[in-house]
Structure 1
Amino acid sequence: MAPKIGKAAVTGAGGMLGFEMVKALELHAEQTLAWDRAALDVTDLEAVLARFRETRPEAVVHAAAYTKVDQAEAEPDAAFRVNAIGARNVALAAAEVGAKMVYVSTDYVFPGTSGTPYCEYEETSPVNVYGDSKRAGEWMAAGLLEELFIVRTSWLYGEHGPNFVRTMLKLAEKGEPIRVVGDQIGCPTYAADVAETIVRLLRTDKYGTYHAANSGACSWYEFAERIFGLTGISADLSAVTSEQFKRPAARPAYSVLDSMALRINGFPPMRAWEDALKEFLYRQRLLRRESRPIEC
């Protein structure tokens, strides 16, 4: 039987992944502390240290993050304050009380110039401020804490908060033409699956950097196409290029993650992105009857 995790804390508990982390840890940890932004400002070192000294968690999943990719270009200080300094603060507090830590990072630390999936041991080189700030957070945490898991994920969607799946469904309701980028390739990932993987990591001392994304890859356009195909919703959908769909922040053209570290450390692979999407839509009661997953 796998060991209990003990007392676990989640920063950013009000966000998409934080929400799923709290649910997962409530099943597998002896006690779960859920800290949203109102409960804990991770950019305030004294507040973070005081909270850790008071509660003394044995593990912390640091899911609090600045995730506004385009807005970060105009306010880099805000992005680095949360994603880098926040990681430093949580790592310092974890080290003081002897807690292991998970720092949640992103596929956007990679440049997107590769034609093959990125494994954990390849060089990072972000193409936008958001990716720079998350890479800085990795460096901060790794420089301060040995009992650390860096978990990079990508293209997250889930029950809680805005995401690409919900955006596509809302646009389809309006009946307007939907134009989606077709030349950016990545791994759509169900937040609940990432939470389960993090729970598995926390049961061990196999520290290091891990990629946690559903397997397979597609473009944003193919992702949207699959959403509408599974739900049976008719939409005026077409693909455009990144050049045609200009945004303030550049995106990596290819940010597919290879979960080598999970494999070589004996962890089970994450399921295919299409299967995860089916389950999400089924749980939202949006899946066509004939597409119902076999197990949920």
Structure 2
Amino acid sequence: MKYFITVVFNQIGTPTYTYDFARLLVDMTETDKHCYYHATNEGGYISWTDFVKEIFKQVDKDVKVTPVAIVEYGAFKALRLFNSYLNKSKLVGSCFKTFSTWQDALLRYLKLINIEGLGS
């Protein structure tokens, strides 16, 4: 059976695994380097459409993902930036460990929740 899903294509950012982010917060509490930092997984910026496509690719599911502009998607209550590019240089400059790629984080998460049909 083939599935269909519509996902926004014109919002760009870097997926961030909450486990990786939580680990960073714990590491920060063990230092005196309290400041504002930007943190995301590595691996580049992608649209929500591309992220959803990668999820289904990793779980080997046949899903048709249709890109749609945010204005076509319908009513949305929270205003969001179209591009969520974050500068992580302060985080790196403070000697905190950077995150793995979002692709690796996604694979770790899918394995954690025991999704069948994962590619290599």
Q: Same fold (TM over 0.5)?
A: yes
Structure with the greater alpha carbon radius of gyration: 1
SS in 2 for 1:209: coil
CA drift at 1:259: 1.5
What residue number does 2:28 align with? Answer: 201
| Mapping for residues 182-261 of structure 1, pairs under 5 Å | 182-215=9-42, 216-246=44-74, 247-261=76-90
Identity %: 32
Match of 1:271 among 97, 100, 113: 100
| Mapping for residues 83-102 of structure 1, pairs under 5 Å | none
Number of corresponding residues: 118
SS in 2 for 1:178: strand
Q: What are the ranges of 5 or more consecutive residues in structure 1 without an aligned counterpart?
A: 1-172, 292-296
SS in 2 for 1:192: helix
Q: What are the ranges of 5 or more consecutive residues in structure 2 without an aligned counterpart?
A: none
CA drift at 1:199: 1.2
- Give the CA RMSD over aligned residues: 1.7
After TM superposition, what 4+ stretches of structure 1 lie above 6 angstroms from structure 2?
none
Equivalent position amino acid for 2:21 in 1: V
Q: 1:287 to 1:241 in 2, by over 3 A?
A: same
Query: 1:97-138 deviations in whole A, cap 9, x for unaligned?
Result: xxxxxxxxxxxxxxxxxxxxxxxxxxxxxxxxxxxxxxxxxx
Q: 1:287 to 1:194 in 2, by over 3 A?
A: farther
CA drift at 1:176: 4.8
Query: 1:54-91 deviations in whole A, cap 9, x for unaligned?
Result: xxxxxxxxxxxxxxxxxxxxxxxxxxxxxxxxxxxxxx
TM-score with structure 2 setting the length: 0.89
